[in-house]
Every structure is written in C-alpha cells, then in structure tokens.
C-alpha cells in the first residue's frame, strides 16, 4: 500500500470459507492485535454479502514504519465458537515525500593558493529518508553568489569538491559556493560552502616612486629630500611585510615617512667634483 494513501481507503481481501450454515457459519472478523492503521469491514454471509475489506484509519509513513503485520481472525457463531486465522503483512510503498538533508548548512575549508589542480577541498554529505531511486542523491553546483564555482568541480555521486585551476589569494581571498543535492524524485536542498584561500609568498615587493628630484645641487644640505616612494607587497600577513634599505651608499639614506612610504634624503654634503 502506498504510504500517502488517504485514510478511509479500502482494500479488498479474500474472505474465509465455512461449510456450516445458520448461526454456526461465519459471523465476524477481528484484527489481532489491534493497531492504529487498519480496521476490518465485512458483510453478513447469511444475507448474501461475503465481502471483507481492510479500512485505512491513519496515513502510513514508510520512513517511520515500513511494514505493518497482524492476524485476521474469522469466527463462527457456534458454541463453542470456532475460528480460523491468517497472517497479513502490509508492505508500505515509498513515495518521494522527503527532500535530501545536508549534514551541515554551512561547510568551511581552507586551501593554499598554490594547491595543484585536482586537490580535494572537502566533501559535502546529504541523506534522504526515502527508499530506492527516491533516496538516491546527486550533487551539483547551484549558481554561486560570486560565480567562483568555476574554480571548482563537484563529483555528482560522492559530493567531493576539488580545485580545477590555480587560485589567487590576491584576487579573491574566499570563494562562496552553493551546492544542491537532488534526489531521484526531483526534490532538492541547498547548502553553502565557504572556501578560504591561504596566502603563500608568491609576490616580490614592488617599489613605486612618487616623486624624484634630479639633478641635485651639490650645495644641498644633509637631510634634503631627493625622492619619495612606497614599497608594496601583494601578499598578506608576514609575507606582505617589507623592509627597505640602501646598499653601500654613504651620500644618501632612507627615512621612513608613513607606513610603507620612504624618503630618500642626502646623508652628507655633496661634492660634484668627487662624485657626479
């Protein structure tokens, strides 16, 4: 019987046979033990009605109770009464009344930005209480918020998410993916996957000159600003911290101005005749 059958539905059974007549013949049917799902309805054989039906009293739920078993007892009117018993086993047939459920609404993972193609990010998992094809789940990417799913692929069967191309921390520090689990009956559910890209030291410092004075008068006093520049590094954290210095240049020195800004200043009096 299909689990979504409406209460009041009737299911015909083959009736019992009693060779006696009158009050000694078949008189009634009972269910033992009684249960909340079924009752029995029957006609009166002496009146020419030998029909018997099971009546569904409560909607079945295969996920809670996949089978219902009981005895059907036929009794006659003799003294003492005699009876016959048959076993009835109801198998509850599944309908697709359950959508997949993810083990988490939000999954998080971290991946190095230089992770090779095919590296495993994580595995999502959804379950479905339905049986057979209705409980078979396939995974796919839904439309992502930032379309970053193009850098990843998901295995439709296992739910494993892998890297498909090099990641760039400097371009995107995180990727938000939307994963859909769909069962064989078309019901689906969504979860989010947040992938954080971990920086590696893959960028050299960059020096950008803001202003520069050339030539410099040899009469310039020590401490005269000759140039202003900023040092940048696209890496994050310790990988992005820079230090700056001059190598073997006694006539000039560096002076920190603000954050990564530096001033190139004269360190001593200049002499064009010695060094042009």
pLDDT on residue 275: 63
Q: How far apart are CA 110 and CA 42, in angstroms?
A: 67
pLDDT class of 157 with cuts at 50, 70, 90: very high
Mean pLDDT along residues 145-170: 86
pLDDT of 276: 52
Q: What pLDDT is stored for residue 267 in this prediction?
A: 77
Question: At a CB cut-off of 8 Å and minimum separation 6, what does 173 contact?
Answer: 196, 197, 236
Residue appearing with tokens 């009794």: 75
Give the pLDDT confidence of 100-152 residue by residue, as tens digits: 999 999 999 999 988 999 999 999 999 999 999 999 999 999 875 555 678 99
Instruction: Go through the domains of the chain in sequence order and give each one's CATH number.
Output: 10-91 (2.60.40.60), 101-198 (2.60.40.60), 206-266 (2.60.40.60)
The 10s digit of each residue's pLDDT in 193-224 is 999 998 876 667 788 887 777 777 777 778 78
The model's pTM is 0.66
Distance of CA 232 to the CA centre of its chain: 39
174 pLDDT higher than 60: yes
């Amino acid at each position: 019987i299909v689990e979504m059958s409406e209460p009041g539905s009737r299911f015909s059974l083959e009736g019992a046979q009693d060779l006696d007549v009158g009050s000694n013949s078949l008189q009634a049917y009972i269910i033992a033990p009684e249960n909340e799902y079924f009752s029995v309805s029957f006609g009166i054989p002496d009146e020419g009605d030998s029909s018997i039906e099971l009546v569904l009293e409560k909607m079945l739920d295969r996920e809670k109770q996949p089978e219902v078993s009981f005895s059907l007892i036929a009794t006659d009117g003799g003294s003492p009464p005699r009876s016959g018993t048959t076993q009835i086993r109801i198998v509850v047939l599944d309908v697709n009344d359950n959508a997949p459920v993810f083990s988490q609404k939000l999954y998080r993972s971290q991946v190095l930005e230089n992770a090779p193609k095919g590296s495993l990010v994580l595995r999502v998992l959804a379950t479905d209480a339905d049986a057979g094809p209705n409980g078979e789940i396939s995974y796919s990417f839904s439309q992502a918020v930032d379309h970053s799913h193009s850098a990843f692929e998901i295995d439709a069967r296992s739910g494993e998410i892998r890297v498909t191309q090099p990641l760039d921390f400097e371009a995107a520090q995180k990727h938000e993916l939307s994963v859909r689990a769909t069962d064989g009956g078309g019901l689906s559910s969504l979860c989010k996957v947040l992938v954080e890209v971990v920086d590696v030291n893959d960028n050299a410092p960059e020096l950008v000159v803001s202003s520069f004075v050339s030539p410099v008068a040899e009469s310039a006093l020590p401490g005269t600003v000759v140039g202003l520049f900023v040092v940048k590094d696209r890496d994050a954290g310790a990988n992005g911290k820079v230090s700056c210095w001059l190598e073997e240049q006694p006539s000039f020195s560096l002076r920190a101005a603000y954050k990564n800004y530096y001033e190139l200043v004269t360190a001593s009096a200049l002499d064009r005749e010695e060094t042009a």
